[in-house]
Structure 1
Amino acid sequence: MNTPSIFWLVPAASLVALAVAWIFYSRMKREDEGTERMREIAAHVRKGAMAYLRQQYKVVLVVFLVLALFFAYLAYGAGVQNPWVPFAFLTGGFFSGLAGFFGMKTATYASARTANAARQSLDRGLKVAFRSGAVMGLVVVGLGLLDISFWYLILDRFTDVAGPQKLVVITTTMLTFGMGASTQALFARVGGGIYTKAADVGADLVGKVEAGIPEDDPRNPATIADNVGDNVGDVAGMGADLYESYCGSVLATAALGAAAFASAGSETLQLKAVLAPMLIAAVGILLSIVGIFLVRTKEGASMRELLRSLGVGVNFSSALIALATFGILYLLGIENWLGLSFSVITGLAAGIVIGQTTEYYTSHSYKPTQKIAGSAKTGPATVIIAGVGSGMISTAIPVVTIGVAIVLAYLCAIGFDIEHMMQPHNLSQGLYGIGIAAVGMLSTLGITLATDAYGPIADNAGGNAEMSGLGPEVRKRTDALDALGNTTAATGKGFAIGSAALTALALLASYVEEIRIGLLHNGVTELTLSDGTTRLVEQASMLDFMAYYNVSLMNPTVLVGVFIGAMMSFLFCGLTMNAVGRAAESMVQEVRRQFREIRGILTGEGTPDYARCVEISTRGAQREMLFPSLLAIVVPVAVGLVFGVAGVMGLLVGGLGSGFVLAVFMANAGGAWDNAKKMIEEGHFGGKGSDCHKATVVGDTVGDPFKDTSGPSLNILIKLMSMVAIVMAGLTVACHLF
């Protein structure tokens, strides 16, 4: 099949993204890093972050090699899997890790430069931090589309299948590199989350609550580890997370497009459906770059004004992408281009609504967080109760938004043919519409991820300013940037969770297509349905597969799968939160030991042993991240081997339903507790050092693993279970108990 000229826009856009990221990085490196003390602190943080990442990648490399060998056996030994899978798996993990590495390297160089820029003005500090965060956003989308382009060209050249089935094989094979990206992302998120929260909890409980010293005070032994943790968790972890979301949404939609149009008789139409999500993502990159240059603010800006500054860039990019979508799909000549364009806009709008909802429930400019701060007057217990309640309530709008987006995207794609919406052709078209809505939501990722990666850079800048003893005016500016960063980080997590829900739904539909390929690999060419009729596997519809495997709510294997999937979200959260608790205990004991045994720390005459705290966090994260991460890989395989395809479908549905809601709750509750503390630190309800402040520090400490470890890891869990199911589809088809 000849590659159309318009395809080359995809790798071209990826190279533009990487080039602009390099320009931003180079400009940031040319900024002054500040005083000798500021340089020294930044070097400590950079050294700790890189040491952690090297250690994590060693552990992950072993896991990847073992899994790749297993996939190689399934492909070349057992013959139940596509032979390209082991290689696709490794490249997905490599690019995901590379995206996290580049983003974190930039962040560790940018923090001191942001603090120094804040000595000049608030706008200067915002620009340095935001454009440094944009490096992460652009690297993620650039590497993502580069990887997709590479695999499309390779598989198009070497896939020896004729007719419409060729694109189905190509796209379902490309999906498997998403498992590599998901696996790497989960290790990065869980390991980084455990690292950062162990350090943060230790620094807060002993430093702020027990010793009564400010946050990021250089007398606190855990403060360097805390700053390192912001980078390994919220930069490297988030980058790897959204890399796999981005790639997963594009690849799942391409696979659905190949399947939906395979029976249309036109390979050209099928190719257009495959290229559409890639082209939307490519144009999204270019328009996100435009939005990045629009972000600026004025001196003395309030929180709402700072949020509005970031919102201008995101909303402008979103509006341009919405308009560009109509042109892309019209020029492609894709069937029902107008309806599919509205499906994309549905996804974009859902992303904006979820982001705004998260901002409302987590920013101290609004009532929910203000009420949590006010509840501190009666102690930490009421702070925790208020935060849990607010977090639970905050799930309503995102869930309804995703529900409305799913229905609208589906109906737009089938031309609102409600009477026949479940007919095979409409079902395939509708699911393609949902997939392309996920692509629409993530098409602004270049700038959306910039607002998220900005958060830890601003946080580290505040820490650098405090430890370097910069003046109160500079600290006031970095505090404003940091408080904004807390909200943008929470908004980014909400956006990541929302995109995971749509992506996971598209992956669920793609799983059925992978079952088709798995059956053909196993030599099954015909399906015999319960009514005695037969269907050729190549021509069977999605409803035929549902009937063949009896995927219905009356099937006990489906119900068992749903329960296991729902349980997985809670089990995973419990394991990761306990891991944070154990690592934090070690950190608390170490900080107390240093205060007790190293003379003169609290008077400023002695120097804490920062390296020891960094070592404790690193060792704790490496040890604790393995079991929950491997569990996410093992459970879908085990369910498939025992309960077959129907059980796996139930597992994925249960995991998606419970994981999405639980993730929104945890991210929003944690973000609200954090900003309630920030509100009091700005002088409300007694200010720093007051009983109200101590109460919100406890709330923030409880919320730390909520928002930075367990909550954001759930959206990866949802997608990783889907990816594992897709990769293992051939084995599930060939070998299952029920």
Structure 2
Amino acid sequence: MVQLQKGYRIAVALSVVGFLFLTRWLLASVTAPGVWVNYFGCGLCGMACGYGIVLSTQYYTDYAYEPVRSIAEASTTGHGTNIITGISVGMKSTCIPTLIITVSVLLAYHLAMACFLLFGAFMDEFSTFAGIPFTTVDIAVPEVLVSGLIGSMIIFFFTGLSISAVGKTAHQVVLEVRRQFQADPGIMTYKSKPDYKACVSLVTKAALEEMRLPAAVCVGTPIAVGLAFRIVGEWTNRPLLGAECLASYLMFGTVTGILMATFLDITGGAWDNAKKYVELGNFGGKNSEAHKASVTGDTVGDPFKDTAGPSLHVVIKLLSTTILVLGPLFISNQG
């Protein structure tokens, strides 16, 4: 971690210097001589935000700090308390990144970054398609609010599907391992080797098959929402209703996805390192009751940090890409 932190700090320092040079070189203007400084300030906000989130993540997942140690200590009283404490740590861990992002967005907004890149591009594209201005999204409109709720729900539904996929695949792997042990007892005495290819093939096949439904849900739902409310908008003389509903869907889905991904990533990492902390000899060390409980937490955390959490980062980008690419389908052209 020490070497990783050194490398990250050097990369940030070089980025600051490089960004300063590039903004001064490419964005300096005689008519607006100070604008490049504002852009440089926005860049600094982004870099500081990233570094702050790195430090927050380290605090909640490194066994040098209290959160992971509290999970390890909770393991001494059983599997249930390990799970309860781990979930508690993960939920609390969303606070600091959220506050960091909040401050960064506000600072960047008040420096010349006058719109959010994602939602600004969304509104600009749909204004062009529709031929009429599209500048606000009113969540007091029932259809818009409902679309936002669906956007948040999809994040939870996708998370459930991806975790379930890991559980099903793990079940199949366990059955295959048991079958090999029964068929060839020599594996346990190292006289013969297991059939590794069978397990690798099983996992690869399951990974492709189990993610079909989650992928279809992520792509299909925004299309269904946009088309449905475009039709409603045409019936009620609201040509931008489909766009507003999708904007709400994207906003709610993005915010929920960020928080859920943070929770899953950090919870899984904290459980993993709590197990490692016990294995160092703390709270009884290996083969102790605390170690058995920490292994349970680590097992639960694996699909959190290795599958569902990382997948949500892709889902967030996929939602915006799908909506922007298929934008003309969701509005009635008035231009």
- TM-score normalised by length of structure 2: 0.90
Between Structure 1 and Structure 2, how many residues are aligned? 316
Distance in 2 of aligned mates of 1:359 and 1:703? 16
Partner of 1:318: 12
| Alpha-carbon distance, 1:685 to partner | 2.0
Deviations 1:62-82 (A, max 9, x none): xxxxxxxxxxxxxxxxxxxxx
Q: Distance in 2 between matches of 1:561 and 1:402?
A: 24
CA apart distance, 1:649: 0.6
Q: 1:320 corresponds to which letter in structure 2?
A: L
Corresponding residue to 2:134 among 524, 545, 569: 545
Deviates more, 1:702-711 or 1:682-691: 682-691
Aligned to 2:232: none
- Report the Cα offset of residue 651 of structure 1: 0.2
Note the aligned Cα RMSD (angstroms): 1.5
1:301-335: CA deviation from partner (whole Å, max 9, x where unpaired) = xxxxxx22211121122122213322221222155
Instruction: Work out which of the residue numbers 265, 271, 274 in structure 2 matches 1:676.
Output: 274
2:248 alignment partner, one of 644, 647, 650: 650
Between 1:663-672 and 1:589-598, the stretch displaced more is 589-598
Q: Aligned residue for 1:568? A: 154
Distance 1:618 1:648 in 2: 34
Q: How does 1:595-610 map to 2 (within 5 A)?
A: 595-610=181-196
Distance 2:13 2:180 in 1: 54
Displacement after TM superposition at 1:592 (Å): 1.9
The sequence identity of aligned pairs, in percent, is 41
Residue of structure 1 equivalent to 2:328:
730
User: For each residue in 1:662-709, what CA deviation from the matched residue of structure 2 results, as whole angstroms up to 9, or x when unmatched?
Assistant: 110110000000111111222222222222211111100100111111
Q: Among residues 91, 97, 109, which one is paired with 1:398 in the alignment?
A: 97
Match of 2:43 among 344, 352, 356: 344
Q: Using the alignment, how far apart are the partners of 2:166 and 2:122 within structure 1?
A: 34
Give the C-alpha shift of residue 711 in structure 1. Answer: 1.1
Amino acid at match of 1:666: L
The equivalent of 1:66 in structure 2 is none
Residue 517 of structure 1 deviates from its aligned partner by 3.4
How far, CA to CA, are the matches of 2:280 and 2:191 in structure 1? 29
Tell me the distance in 1 between the aligned counterparts of 2:292 and 2:189.
Answer: 22
CA contact (8 A) 1:576 1:709 kept: yes
Give the Å deviation of 1:411. 0.7
1:511 pairs, out of 114, 122, 135, with: 122
Name the structure 2 match of 1:382: 81
Whether the aligned pair in 1 keeps the contact of 2:124 and 2:134 (CA below 8 Å) is no
Asked if 1:711 is matched to 2:322, the reply is: no
1:267 match: none
1:721 Cα shift? 0.6
How far is 1:360 from its partner?
Answer: 0.7
TM-score by length of 1: 0.42
CA contact (8 A) 1:372 1:383 kept: yes
Amino acid at match of 1:513: D
> What is the CA–CA distance in structure 2 between the aligned matches of 1:689 and 1:605, rounded to whole Å?
26
Q: Assess if the C-alpha contact under 8 Å between 1:517 and 1:730 holds in 2.
A: no
Are 1:408 and 2:102 counterparts? no
* 2:234 alignment counterpart: none
Distance in 2 (CA, whole Å) between partners of 1:659 and 1:556 is 22
Does structure 1 residue 693 correspond to structure 2 residue 291? yes
Paired residue type of 2:316: I
Residue in structure 2 matched with residue 37 of structure 1 by the alignment? none
Given the alignment of the two structures, is residue 641 of structure 1 paired with residue 227 of structure 2, yes or no?
yes
CA distance in 2, matches of 1:672, 1:385: 12
2:58 to 347, 353, 359: 359
Give the structure 1 partner of residue 175 of structure 2.
589
Matches within 5 A, 1:457-476: none
**CA contact 1:507–1:723 (8 Å) conserved in 2:** no
The runs of 5 or more residues in structure 2 that have no matched partner are 230-241
> Structure 1 counterpart of 2:301, which letter?
G
Contact kept, 8 Å, 1:566 with 1:658, in 2: the verdict is yes
Q: Alpha-carbon deviations, 1:416-448, whole Å to 9, x = none?
A: xxxxxxxxxxxxx412xxxxxxxxxxxxxxxxx
Distance, in Å, in 2 between the alignment partners of 1:611 and 1:717 is 31
Counterpart of 2:206 in structure 1 is 620
Counterpart residue type for residue 118 of structure 2: L
Summarize deviations over 1:232-282 as a string: whole Å, max 9, x none: xxxxxxxxxxxxxxxxxxxxxxxxxxxxxxxxxxxxxxxxxxxxxxxxxxx
Matches within 5 A, 1:138-153: none
Hey, what's the Cα distance between the residues in 1 that align with 2:141 and 2:123?
Answer: 18
Of 321, 327, 341, the residue aligned with 2:21 is 327
Retained in 2: the 8 A contact 1:343–1:408? yes
8 Å Cα contact 1:379/1:692 also seen in 2: yes
Residue 666, structure 1, aligned to residue 264, structure 2 = yes
Report the Cα offset of residue 611 of structure 1: 1.2
Which residue of the other structure, out of 102, 109, 114, is the alignment partner of 1:430? 114
1:516-571 residue CA offsets vs partner (Å, 9 max, x unmatched): 3323xxxx4xx3xxxxxxxxxxxxxxxx4135xxx212211210111011101100
Residues 700-727 of structure 1 deviation map (CA, whole Å, 9 limit, x = unaligned): 0100111111111112111111111100
Checking the alignment, whether the CA contact within 8 Å between 1:376 and 1:696 is kept in structure 2 is: yes
Question: Using the alignment, how far apart are the partners of 2:65 and 2:227 within structure 1?
Answer: 49
Secondary structure of 1:607's counterpart equals: coil
Whether 1:630 aligns to 2:216 is: yes
Moved over 6 A (4+): none
Letter in 2 for 1:376: S
Mapping of 1:416-495 within 5 angstroms? Answer: 429-431=113-115
Q: Where does 1:167-316 land on structure 2 (aligned, <5 Å)?
A: 307-316=1-10
Q: Is structure 2 residue 67 aligned with structure 1 residue 368?
A: yes
Q: What amino acid sits opposite 1:322 in the alignment?
A: V
Question: Counterpart of 1:554?
Answer: 140
SS of the residue 1:430 aligns to: coil
1:688 is paired with a residue whose SS is coil
Q: What is the distance in 2 between the residues matched to 1:580 and 1:339?
A: 46
Cα distance in 1 between the residues matched to 2:190 and 2:78: 31
Shift of 1:581: 1.0
Aligned partners of 2:24 and 2:36 also within 8 Å: yes
Equivalent residue letter for 1:364: Y
Q: For residues 486-513 of structure 1, give each alpha carbon's deviation from its aligned partner in whole angstroms, at most 9, with x where no partner exists.
A: xxxxxxxxxxxxxxxxxxx522221112
AA paired with 1:628?
P
User: Are 2:147 and 2:245, in contact at CA under 8 Å, matched by a contact in 1?
Assistant: yes
Q: Equivalents in 2 of 1:316, 1:607: separation in Å?
A: 46
Unmatched 5+ residue regions in structure 1?
1-306, 414-428, 432-504, 528-543
